[in-house]
Every structure is written in C-alpha cells, then in structure tokens.
Structure 1
Amino acid sequence: MDATGSRSGAPMIRLAGVHKTYADGTVAVQELDLEVGEGELVCLVGPSGCGKSTTLRMVNRLVEPTSGRIEVDGRDVSAVDPVRLRRGIGYVIQQVGLFPHQRVAANVMTVPLLSGSSRADARRRALELLDLVGLDPATYADRYPHQLSGGQRQRVGVARALAADPPVLLMDEPFGAVDPVVRVRLQDEFRRLQRDLGKTVLFVTHDIDEAVRMGDRVAVFAVGGRLAQVGTPAEVLARPADEFVSGFVGATRGLRRLSVTTIHPGLVEPLDGVAAGDLAAAVEIGATLEEALALMLRDDRPMVGVRDGARFVGVLTPAGVHRALRASLRED
C-alpha cells in the first residue's frame, strides 16, 4: 500500500487533495488523499464534526468540494451529470428514506425504473434483492414501510441501493438507529453480502467497534477534517498514529483486537485427555478469538473445540487466546 492506503491496481474511489470549506469559514475536510480498491470496504470513523459524512457526500456530489479531485472508477465525478452519477452509486443512510406511500417492492424498483427498466424487469429485480437481504418477498414485498421494524426498513434500504447493481455503495451510519442486537446481526449479514457481491463500499460510522468489525481498512478522522490514520483494523489498534487516534480507539484497544485476530492451526492444542463435557460448542479455523472466548464464557467451560470443516482438530484454551494476542502484537 502507498501513503493513501491504496491496494494494488487502479482504485475504484480516489480522493486527491480534497478540501471543503463552507461559506461561514468552517473547514470540514482538509487536503484529503484516500483510495479505495475494488471490492474493498473502508470505514470512515471519527467524532461528530470531523468531516466523514461530508467526505461521503462529496463522492456523489451531494456536497461539492472546494478543491481537489474525486474519481469513481477512473472518472472525475465533477465531469459527470450529478443525477446520472447518483443513479450509478448506491446510497444508504441511517433514516433509510423510504417513500412512505409506496409499498416495499415499489421502493426498491425506483432506480431501475428511472434508469429505463420495464416495470416487469424492475419488479423481478426488486423481489430478487428482497430475498438476498433476508426479506421473504411473499411476506414483505407488498407491505408499506410503516409495517416494518427498524431493522427490516434498513434491509429494504440496502436492497434499494443495490437495485441498479452499482459498483460503489456509500453508507452513512446505516445501522445507527436500530437496537444493539439487531445492529450486530445487520453488520454480519451485510459484511457477508458485500463479500459475495464484491461491491466497493465507503461506510461512515462514529463507532470504533463497528469500524473494526466491518472494515477491511479503517480511516480515522480528527475534528477539523484531518485524516489522522488509515490502515487495517489490526494496524490501527496496534499502532495508533498519534495521540488523537490512541485516545479515540481507547485504552481497551487490546480487547478490541480479539475481534480482528483469527484462529489458526498453530494455536490449537491436541484433543488428548479432553473430555467431551469440557468443550463448549466448536468454532471453525479462521473464526476470531472474540467468538471463541464468547463461547467459553457462555458455556462456562475452560476451552472451546476447533473444527476445520467437518474435521475436529483440537481445542483452544484461554492460554491459547493470550498467546495469539501476544503474537499478533509482535507481528504488527
């Protein structure tokens, strides 16, 4: 990666020297350089007023930059008609923004119809997407938004953003208005969906735990629109770039590393002498230390079983968790 954090190959989103100053003199974003690779999910995280949502809105020209250049798929967005640009970029916000007088399927059909699809094709696409985000079309397609829970409305918002099959998704605090249990479920399901579809995602959040859980990389913004650090979740947690980042990720960043450190065969201890009753439910190789430790605590057992597919390969103990955390710190 270079200084902007770009992966190899041409970036799908590129911001070069982007600056935004409002008419009252407020500096929202300072000389921002950031690249997002194709199929990558980058979380923009920071306190209120740090410019992360402004950055997101400059990508689809809901806000115009004062200076600098923004490209999506190699095209300067300032040279693209803003309406056409927005129809080709998925956009999901916290309040969802569904049309209350339209049924769920009609909400999802909006962009395909505006882009020239027939009603039959647009409805077919809408039903496929509702199924993709976990809403049975037979049950939900003809309901109105007020008949859905908050989590269900967010799923419809994601389906609508995907309706035109955009290469890029912009998501602004999309799960912030739902309760914590539903929020974690939506995070996990969206991450799986994003990996399956290969979309490029810019995801705004104020929650460092959500950023660590969701992002391939995390871009930490400081007040005043300064990009303080960009890196993988493990890098940001292990090596904060400055005092601001260190304070923002918190004194518990060592614990947060549990969610980004995975189990590998070298951590697993043999099954010899282990009784089945001593085991909590098993986790897979590649699961996180957080998942394994949660199972141990849930079942009040001194270890958790580890599988590699159908094969049971050994156990992970608290001592193994400690070794893994120390090893990941040394690697970083």
Structure 2
Amino acid sequence: MDATASDQPPATTGSGEEPMIRLTGVGKTYDDGTVAVHELDLDVARGELVCLVGPSGCGKSTTLKMINRLIEPSTGQIVVDGQDVTQVDPNALRRGIGYVIQQVGLFPHQRVEANVMTVPLLYGESRATARARAHELLALVGLEPELYAQRYPHQLSGGQQQRVGVARALAADPPVLLMDEPFGAVDPVVRTRLQDEFGRLQRELGKTVVLVTHDIDEAVRMGDRVAIFADGGRLAQYGTPQEVLARPADEFVEDFVGATRGLRRLAVTRIDEAHLEPLEGVTAGQLGAAIDLDSTLEEALALMMRDDKSMIGVRRGARFLGVLTPAGVHRQLRASLMP
C-alpha cells in the first residue's frame, strides 16, 4: 500500500521548538499538468541536516528551489525562520540563504578571494572586512588563503572548487544552507572526504542544512533525518537514517534503500555500551585494537577484519568499557528493530 504524505504522521521536528523551515501543503504543478511536488508537509529543525533523496524527477530539487523561490510553489506555505517566504523580496531572501550546487557556479574570471567576497560586498561590507571574512572561510573549508585566495577557479581541482562554493555560500553567515547534489561531480574518494569535512563543519557552525542527493548512502551517512521522495513528488518516508533503514514505510522505500540496507545500518549505528561483554577472561590474542565508544558498528567490524580478531576492545577516553563481538553487533542490530 502506498504511503502518501497525508498517510504519514506529520513530518515535524518532534522537539516542540518552532522549526527553522516548515513546508505545509506545498505543491508544484506545471502548466502542462505535470505534478512535480504533491502536498508536501515537512519540518526541518534548527541546526539539523536533512537529506532529500529519491529517483530522478521525484521533486527533490524542485522542493529545494521552492524554499528560496527559484521556483514558485503552486500551493501551500513555506516558512523560513518564522517568515513566509512569499512575503519577502526574492533577491533579499536568496541573499540570506546559502545555496550550493553541483556545478559550483563560481565566476571564472574572478579569483577565489573575489568569489567568496561577492555577497558580503553586496551587503555593503567594506572590501577589507569582506576580504578578511573570505580568508577566514577559506581556512575553515581547508583551503589555505595564502595558497588559494589569488588563484582562478580553473586552477583548482573539482573538490577544491566545491569547497570554494561552500565558503561563498557561508560568506553572509546565513542561518540556512541549501545544497543541490553538492558532491556529485567529484571522484568517490574525494567525495567521502568532503562529506566528512562538511559534516564536521555543519556541526561546528550549527547551520540548518537541506541537501539534495540521489545517493541513499550519502543521505544516510550525512543526514540527521532523511526524506525519501517517490515518483510524482510524493513524500514516501521521513525519519532518521536508522528508522528508514530498519523500518521502511512501504514497498517503494524498501526497494529504494535496497536489499543491503542491513549493511548500511552498520554505518549509521553507533556502538551501544549495553551490548558489550566484560573484559574478564579475554586473552590478548583474542583482542584486536581498541575503538572509541562513539564509533559505528561498521568501523568496529572493519577493525576486527583488519586484525583478524574475534572481538574488539571499546573505550571511552582512556577507560576500557568492555569488548564487542560479532554476536554483540547482531544483538544491537536486532534491538534497533524493536519498536
């Protein structure tokens, strides 16, 4: 049975706090009758990173562009930081929302420094202040200003250009950042590194982020919550990565997350002390390298296989808490399926 947006529980933050972004009954129908987005209700909490994921043509990029009115909604209401976006001048709205796209969109004739300075200068900042802000942000995204500020975009790798795009989007210190397939144009190794670095940056800055991707692995790796869109612009499921992987809402979601969703759950499930076993009776030959309690089950299993050990020590700081075995991993995964 299909789970339409109206069949689902309200896609709210669940915290009682007003969300940073709220979409209520939002839809987009084009003149030829094509429904791109269907009656979407969606809340994004302050400081949350939400991934919109689904097949091509399912409305996820359209939804993103309606938030900053690059596309006008046909129905419904979009509220950002307490303000109805349709009541705001579109240009002023977009200057207050960071926007990062796959193609980056850097100005090719301007140096990196000038690209990042663009929005602060539009806001009336002095060149000295805007330059200092640009250098601060370049350092924040891992590009040393002394090396990169005076280069042109064509002198950078794809991953470096993407970092400049993120720095430019952050230059006006926006509370909201919209990202459309931001890491899709770089090779897999660089992509994973950029995902990790952006996740660290987002946690550090506390920005509210809505990120569009077609890659379920990227969505569950990066998102605090994941919104899975189906054809016809229907919201099929909205939940944490653990919820989506453990309890797909319908057959479409089950097919989309794939038969290997059990393996994906290893990457989004952190070690639970309740499923460790005591150190007593464990010999040094049985025990592999120790791992921090904040690590994922995937990282723990990878270390076991690397060291060819049947268990791994788990610590919190300098204190050992117990050992994790494959049986403990299995118990924890089973426990996470319980309602």
Aligned counterpart, 1:63: 71
Gaps of 5+ in 1: none
Q: Secondary structure of the residue that 2:277 maps to in structure 1?
A: coil
Does the alignment pair 1:234 with 2:242?
Answer: yes
Q: Determine which of 253, 259, 277 is the counterpart of 2:267.
A: 259
Q: Secondary structure of the residue that 1:314 maps to in structure 2?
A: strand
Q: What is the CA distance between 1:276 and its match in structure 2?
A: 4.3
CA distance in 1, matches of 2:108, 2:139: 21
Matches within 5 A, 1:203-242: 203-242=211-250
Aligned counterpart, 2:20: 12
Q: What is the CA distance between 1:2 and its match in structure 2?
A: 6.0
Matches within 5 A, 1:149-188: 149-188=157-196
Q: Determine which of 138, 142, 145 is the counterpart of 1:134.
A: 142
What letter is aligned with 2:12? G
Q: How many residues align?
A: 331
Aligned counterpart, 2:5: none
CA distance in 2, matches of 1:103, 1:295: 44
1:278–1:303 CA contact under 8 A, matched in 2: yes
RMSD (Å) for aligned C-alpha atoms: 1.5
Matches within 5 A, 1:269-280: 269-276=277-284, 278-280=286-288
What letter is aligned with 1:180? P
Matches within 5 A, 1:86-97: 86-97=94-105
What letter is aligned with 1:262? R
Q: Secondary structure of the residue that 2:314 maps to in structure 1?
A: strand
2:310–2:325 CA contact under 8 A, matched in 1: yes
Q: Secondary structure of the residue that 1:218 maps to in structure 2?
A: strand
Q: Secondary structure of the residue that 1:122 maps to in structure 2?
A: helix
Matches within 5 A, 1:63-82: 63-82=71-90
Q: What is the CA distance between 1:278 and its match in structure 2?
A: 4.4
Aligned counterpart, 1:31: 39
Higher mean Cα deviation, 265-274 or 72-81? 265-274
Q: What is the CA distance between 1:96 and its match in structure 2?
A: 0.7
The list of structure 1 runs, each at least 4 consecutive aligned residues, that deviate by more than 6 angstroms after superposition, is: none
Aligned counterpart, 2:310: 302
Does the alignment pair 1:110 with 2:107?
Answer: no
Aligned counterpart, 1:84: 92
Q: Secondary structure of the residue that 2:337 maps to in structure 1?
A: helix
Q: What is the CA distance between 1:17 and its match in structure 2?
A: 0.8
CA distance in 2, matches of 1:138, 1:320: 49
Deviations 1:122-175 (A, max 9, x none): 111111111111111111111111111111111111111111000000000101
1:5–1:230 CA contact under 8 A, matched in 2: no
What letter is aligned with 1:307? R
Pick closer, same or farther for the CA change 1:40–1:2 going to 2, 3 Å. Answer: farther
Give me the TM-score of the superposition, normalised by structure 1. Answer: 0.96
Percent identity over the alignment is 77
Q: What is the CA distance between 1:279 and its match in structure 2?
A: 4.0
Q: What is the CA distance between 1:277 and its match in structure 2?
A: 5.3
Q: What is the CA distance between 1:273 and its match in structure 2?
A: 4.3
Deviations 1:100-137 (A, max 9, x none): 11111111111111111111111111111111111111
CA distance in 2, matches of 1:55, 1:240: 22
Does the alignment pair 1:50 with 2:26?
Answer: no
CA distance in 2, matches of 1:276, 1:126: 52
Higher mean Cα deviation, 266-275 or 20-29? 266-275
